[in-house]
């Protein structure tokens, strides 16, 4: 174990052995940051520091888990287990549970995710009768979140002249009221949202110096990873915690700060020297990941940013190939080109699928590549997107668990009071909620205290509500006597969820049933991992954990040999042999709104830098000349970032377009059956994800029908009038309205579809675009 220091370069070694006092480690991309962090912890332990005296904060659960595993291999699993290691959110939610009562929250407070938060805000906007054109849930949420991350509580916001002025200016003067009501509602529900976990920690430390002192004393050594992505709230927590011992080591790279939209302040890392006098700074500048060409090219990009800590990242790896810039006519062609390259690489150079990663700016871009990869039978995996925990059936079941643990949780109660259907209608729930609001009670307390005369509900409805409440009570009674998995299973079946899903024999129903089983398996796994002789694992312990998990944490450790698709943001910290950076166009990357602001543009450029530095060996940068957005074709121009790269590292592969190279059709020839299947599959997929099938878009009797024939049909909102599957039709450029496919003939792409349209404006459009021939 002594030898580990020899594995490090001088800068890394300094960063590991200087354990006392404030330390700033600037870790360039691919410079062995994780290695330094793990070895530093190992070194601390070797120097006699107790594991439970070390607090290590990371940005993602996954990073924490990985680091823990790596440390375990060095120092042993037992010691590693008593380290405090996790994301800010998970570590401080643990602390908040311990200290909850001094803040007036229950220990078993619920954690609201973004969806919960948005739904509450939406309701408040509605209740206040505010103009929903001005007050958009997303926007309001962003304001509130921003306020919280800057430690501005609801009362402080109300009194904050600047904030109020800004709101007045932007025509949303009532935000402070929404914020106030939202906060009250969370408090009443015994719930915290993501931002609260940090805000309340700050409040705790501010109002309860003894508590702060306790944790200051507890942690002799604090390490923070990805420091450039901390927000003000996190920054202050760290500052306070480290105030006494001052043994704080922050690691980060200002050039990779890409989360300002979430409140991250690059200033935190830039100003470290101001906050911590006598700090030591170590720069890890040797890149072990990428070829010289890629490192040099990346340097030439980031050089364009003013706001940064100077550093000289270099590589001693082979020189490598130049960056390939390729141009395509359309987004579809781009997909085709990338898929072809991957295909060739795998079959001629014998690379593996998993060596290839396609990175894009927005999730929506994944679709084209999915299609083109599928057509070539290339296996792929998309990361991000809809999380397992966002699925309807999972959220439903978790809502039961949350309610059983915390009855004040109105959001969960509303979600499940009539699921599975037990005859408690919307009107009933609304009246209940209104009554609760009037009496300033949670809905649950309102149910318990209903004086029947005071509420406009008939006895039938009331009985159903009581039945529901009784069921929940019975579950709660078992909370600490029954082991988590058993109780979870019991709730799933007694509530009727399992049965409700089981009786659904359609493929999507089966999948949902399987998902529920998977969740239960997860609970079982959690139980076995956490049980010991003294305590059985109870359901609330599981809930603590699950609320902060994300899609990435649920990934199975299968040895996947698949092409990887993800956003640049989620690629941070990862590396791939071959990277395809796609959609590098103005208005997309950098995005439209970044163009006017220097700081936003710099952040986009850092994002570009992050993408480039993911590549170990080969990098392809790709853009299209035309791209569909919201069903319409737009002209695109190459991103300014491409010009930012020093041309000596780039191979511009933008040759005269050879139209014969790329087939003009959007699909490979398919049989009619394939065509129908594809739509059916899409529909199934949507249904799996959302729990409900997409709305069918189909004409009905009573309106004028037009029959038309087209040779290119794609659909909106899925499928064809094949048995029970109905469809909306979209034709070539733009949306013509919805119709019903009466008949499909021929092979793709020369499919002839006879469609009934019912949209009155359609006929003109049909005539205008000669592609369609009006039959009647």
Partner DNA sequence: TGCGTGCTTCTTTTT
Partner DNA sequence: GAAGCACGCA
> Which residues form the catalytic set?
33-34, 225-226, 256, 614
Question: What's 457-506 look like in SS3?
Answer: CCHHHHHHHHHHHHHHHHHHHCCCCCCHHHHHHHHHHHCCHHHHHHCCCC
- Report 585-614 residues binding DNA (CB under 7 A): 591, 593-594, 600
Residue ranges with strand state E in 475-588? 563-567, 576-581
- Give the burial string for 597-632 (b: 16+ CB within 10 Å, else e): eeebbbbbbbbbbbbbbbbbbbbbbbbbbbbeeeee
Size of interface with DNA, in residues (CB under 7 A): 67
| Position 134 contacts DNA (CB under 7 A) | no
| Position 256 contacts DNA (CB under 7 A) | no
The DSSP letter of residue 725 is B
DSSP three-state, residue 113: coil
| Position 59 contacts DNA (CB under 7 A) | yes
| Position 723 contacts DNA (CB under 7 A) | no
The DSSP letter of residue 657 is P
Q: Closest approach of Cβ 563 to DNA, in Å?
A: 17
Within 10 Å of residue 206's Cβ, how many Cβ atoms? 13
Nearer to DNA, 682 or 711 (CB): 682
Q: Closest approach of Cβ 535 to DNA, in Å?
A: 27
Q: Closest approach of Cβ 402 to DNA, in Å?
A: 18
Q: Where are the alpha helices (DSSP H) in 57-104?
A: 61-75, 77-81, 88-99
Nearer to DNA, 89 or 311 (CB): 89
Copy the structure tokens of residue 686. 């949507």
- Report 567-586 residues binding DNA (CB under 7 A): 567, 569-570
DSSP three-state, residue 224: strand
Nearer to DNA, 219 or 738 (CB): 738
Q: Contact region for DNA (CB under 7 A) — 265-273, 292-300, 450-458, 709-717?
A: 709-717
| Position 287 contacts DNA (CB under 7 A) | no
Q: Contact region for DNA (CB under 7 A) — 150-158, 164-172, 425-433, 448-456?
A: 425-433
Contact (Cβ atoms closer than 8 angstroms) between residue 229 and residue 264: yes
Q: Closest approach of Cβ 320 to DNA, in Å?
A: 28
Contact (Cβ atoms closer than 8 angstroms) between residue 564 and residue 358: yes
Q: Contact region for DNA (CB under 7 A) — 271-279, 445-453, 549-557, 610-618?
A: 549-557
Copy the structure tokens of residue 737. 């309205």
| Position 689 contacts DNA (CB under 7 A) | yes
Contact with DNA (CB under 7 A): which of 155, 171, 420, 425? 425
Starting at the earlier edge strand, list the strands of the sheet with 221-224: 84-87, 54-58, 221-224, 248-252, 23-27, 280-284
Q: Which long-range CB contacts under 8 A does 267-274 form with residues at least 24 apart?
A: 268/227, 268/228, 268/230, 268/232, 268/235, 269/24, 269/227, 269/228, 269/309, 270/307, 270/308, 270/309, 272/22, 272/24, 272/227, 273/24
Contact with DNA (CB under 7 A): which of 715, 753, 755, 766? 715
Within 10 Å of residue 391's Cβ, how many Cβ atoms? 20
Contact with DNA (CB under 7 A): which of 216, 268, 287, 550? 550
Return phi, psi of residue 503, to 5°.
-75, -15
Pairwise CA distance, residues 118 & 182, whole Å: 10
Q: Closest approach of Cβ 600 to DNA, in Å?
A: 6
Contact with DNA (CB under 7 A): which of 382, 610, 758, 766? 758
Contact (Cβ atoms closer than 8 angstroms) between residue 672 and residue 730: no
Residue 653 β-bridge partners = 326
| Position 304 contacts DNA (CB under 7 A) | no
Nearer to DNA, 332 or 482 (CB): 332
Q: Closest approach of Cβ 468 to DNA, in Å?
A: 14
Q: Closest approach of Cβ 721 to DNA, in Å?
A: 10
Residue 282 β-bridge partners = 25
Pairwise CA distance, residues 119 & 599, whole Å: 31
Residues recorded for the chain? 776
Q: Contact region for DNA (CB under 7 A) — 182-190, 268-276, 684-692, 743-751?
A: 684-692
Pairwise CA distance, residues 333 & 697, whole Å: 29
| Position 548 contacts DNA (CB under 7 A) | yes
Contact (Cβ atoms closer than 8 angstroms) between residue 727 and residue 719: yes
Contact (Cβ atoms closer than 8 angstroms) between residue 69 and residue 98: no
Q: Contact region for DNA (CB under 7 A) — 57-65, 202-210, 307-315, 643-651?
A: 57-65
| Position 695 contacts DNA (CB under 7 A) | yes
Nearer to DNA, 39 or 109 (CB): 109
Contact with DNA (CB under 7 A): which of 694, 749, 754, 769? 694
Nearer to DNA, 50 or 629 (CB): 629
Q: Which residues contact 309 (CB under 8 A, 6 or more apart)?
A: 26, 254, 269, 270
- Report 68-87 residues binding DNA (CB under 7 A): 87
Nearer to DNA, 89 or 489 (CB): 89
CA dist list (Å): 697 to 514, 725, 750, 772: 29, 10, 24, 20
Q: Closest approach of Cβ 631 to DNA, in Å?
A: 3
Q: Contact region for DNA (CB under 7 A) — 276-284, 299-307, 424-432, 434-442?
A: 424-432
Contact with DNA (CB under 7 A): which of 70, 89, 143, 148? 89
Q: Closest approach of Cβ 179 to DNA, in Å?
A: 17
Q: Contact region for DNA (CB under 7 A) — 471-479, 499-507, 566-574, 646-654?
A: 566-574
Contact (Cβ atoms closer than 8 angstroms) between residue 620 and residue 579: yes
Interstrand relation of 728-730 and 714-716 (parallel, antiparallel or unpaired): antiparallel
| Position 682 contacts DNA (CB under 7 A) | yes
Contact with DNA (CB under 7 A): which of 699, 706, 748, 751? 699
| Position 348 contacts DNA (CB under 7 A) | no
Copy the structure tokens of residue 124. 């408040």
| Position 704 contacts DNA (CB under 7 A) | no
Q: Closest approach of Cβ 213 to DNA, in Å?
A: 27
| Position 535 contacts DNA (CB under 7 A) | no
| Position 143 contacts DNA (CB under 7 A) | no
| Position 122 contacts DNA (CB under 7 A) | yes
| Position 426 contacts DNA (CB under 7 A) | yes
Exposure of 303 in the CB half-sphere (CA atoms within 13 A): 13
Q: Closest approach of Cβ 524 to DNA, in Å?
A: 24
- Report 357-396 residues binding DNA (CB under 7 A): 361-364, 367, 384
Of the candidates 601, 608, 26, the residue with the CA atom closest to the CA atom of residue 300: 608
| Position 722 contacts DNA (CB under 7 A) | no
Interstrand relation of 110-112 and 191-193 (parallel, antiparallel or unpaired): parallel
Contact with DNA (CB under 7 A): which of 411, 650, 730, 753? 730
Per-residue x/- mask for DNA, residues 631 to 670, rule CB under 7 A?
Answer: x---------------------------------------
Contact (Cβ atoms closer than 8 angstroms) between residue 15 and residue 9: no
| Position 138 contacts DNA (CB under 7 A) | yes
Q: Closest approach of Cβ 110 to DNA, in Å?
A: 16
- Give the burial string for 506-531 (b: 16+ CB within 10 Å, else e): eebbebbbebbeebbebbbebbeeee
| Position 133 contacts DNA (CB under 7 A) | yes
Catalog residues that contact DNA under the rule CB under 7 A. Answer: 59-61, 87-89, 114, 122, 133, 136, 138, 194, 258, 261-262, 361-364, 367, 384, 421, 423, 425-428, 548, 550-552, 566-567, 569-570, 591, 593-594, 600, 628-631, 682, 686, 689-690, 694-700, 703, 714-718, 726, 730, 735, 737-738, 758-759
């Amino acid at each position: 174990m002594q030898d580990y220091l020899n594995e490090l370069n001088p800068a890394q070694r300094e960063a590991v052995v200087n354990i006392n006092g404030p330390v700033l480690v600037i870790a360039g991309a691919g410079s062995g940051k994780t290695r330094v962090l793990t070895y530093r912890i190992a070194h601390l332990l070797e120097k006699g520091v107790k594991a439970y005296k070390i607090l290590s904060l990371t940005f993602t659960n996954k990073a924490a888990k990985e680091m823990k595993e790596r440390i375990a291999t060095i120092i042993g699993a037992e010691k590693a287990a008593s380290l405090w290691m996790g994301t800010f959110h998970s570590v401080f939610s643990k602390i908040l549970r311990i200290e909850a009562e001094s803040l007036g929250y229950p220990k078993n407070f619920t954690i609201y995710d973004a969806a919960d938060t948005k739904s509450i805000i939406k309701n408040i906007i509605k209740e206040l009768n505010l103009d929903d054109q001005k007050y958009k849930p997303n926007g309001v949420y962003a304001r509130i979140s921003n306020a919280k991350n800057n430690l501005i509580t609801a009362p402080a916001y109300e009194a904050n002249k600047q904030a109020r002025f800004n709101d007045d200016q932007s025509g949303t003067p009532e935000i402070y009221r929404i914020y106030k009501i939202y906060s009250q509602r969370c408090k009443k529900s015994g719930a915290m949202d993501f931002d609260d976990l940090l805000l309340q920690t700050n409040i705790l430390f501010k109002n309860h110096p003894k508590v702060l002192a306790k944790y200051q004393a507890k942690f002799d050594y604090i390490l923070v990873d990805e420091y450039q992505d901390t927000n003000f709230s996190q920054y202050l927590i760290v500052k306070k915690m480290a105030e006494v011992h001052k043994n704080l080591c922050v690691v980060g790279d200002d050039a990779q700060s890409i989360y300002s939209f979430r409140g991250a302040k690059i200033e935190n890392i830039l100003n470290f020297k101001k906050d911590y006098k006598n700090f030591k700074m170590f720069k890890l500048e040797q890149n072990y990941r990428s070829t010289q060409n890629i490192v040099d090219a990346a340097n030439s990009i980031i050089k364009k940013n003013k706001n940064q800590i100077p550093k000289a990242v270099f590589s001693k790896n082979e020189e490598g190939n130049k960056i390939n810039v390729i141009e395509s006519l359309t987004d579809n062609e781009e997909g085709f080109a990338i898929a072809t390259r991957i295909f060739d690489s795998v079959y001629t150079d014998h690379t593996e699928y998993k060596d290839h990663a396609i990175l894009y700016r927005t999730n929506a871009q994944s679709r084209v590549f999915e299609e083109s990869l599928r057509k070539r039978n290339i296996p792929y995996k998309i990361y991000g997107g809809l999380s397992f925990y966002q699925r309807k059936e999972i959220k439903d079941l978790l809502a039961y668990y949350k309610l059983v643990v915390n009855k004040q949780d109105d959001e969960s109660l509303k979600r499940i009071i009539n699921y599975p259907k037990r005859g408690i209608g919307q009107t009933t729930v609304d009246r209940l909620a209104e009554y609760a609001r009037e009496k300033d009670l949670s809905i649950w307390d309102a149910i318990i205290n209903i004086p029947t005369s005071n509420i406009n509900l008939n006895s039938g409805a009331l009985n159903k509500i009581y039945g529901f409440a009784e069921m929940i009570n019975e579950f709660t009674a078992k909370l600490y006597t029954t082991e988590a998995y058993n109780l979870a299973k019991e709730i799933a079946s007694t509530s009727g969820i399992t049965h409700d899903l089981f009786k659904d024999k359609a493929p999507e129903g089966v999948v949902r049933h399987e998902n529920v089983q998977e969740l239960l398996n997860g609970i079982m796994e959690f139980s076995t991992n956490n049980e010991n002789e003294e305590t059985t694992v109870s359901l609330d312990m599981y809930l603590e954990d699950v609320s902060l998990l994300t899609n990435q944490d649920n990934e199975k450790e299968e040895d996947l040999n698949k092409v990887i698709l993800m956003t640049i943001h989620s690629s941070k910290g990862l590396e791939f042999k071959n990277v395809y950076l796609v959609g590098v166009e103005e208005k997309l990357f950098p995005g439209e709104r970044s163009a006017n602001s220097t700081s936003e543009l710099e952040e986009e450029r850092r994002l570009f830098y992050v993408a480039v530095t993911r590549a170990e060996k080969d990098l392809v940068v790709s853009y299209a000349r035309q791209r569909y957005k919201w069903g319409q074709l737009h002209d695109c121009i190459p991103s300014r970032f491409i010009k930012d790269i020093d041309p000596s590292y780039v191979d511009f592969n933008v040759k005269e377009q050879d139209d014969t190279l790329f087939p003009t059709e959007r699909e490979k020839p398919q049989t009619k059956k394939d065509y129908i299947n594809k739509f059916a599959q899409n529909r199934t997929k949507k249904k799996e994800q959302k729990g409900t099938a997409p709305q069918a878009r189909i004409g009905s009797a009573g309106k004028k029908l037009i029959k038309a024939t087209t040779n290119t049909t794609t659909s909106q909102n899925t499928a064809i009038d094949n048995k029970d599957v109905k469809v909306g039709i979209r034709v070539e450029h733009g949306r013509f309205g919805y119709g019903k496919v009466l008949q499909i003939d021929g092979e793709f792409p020369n499919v002839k579809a006879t469609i009934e349209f019912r949209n009155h404006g359609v006929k003109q459009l049909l005539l205008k675009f000669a592609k369609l021939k009006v039959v009647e």
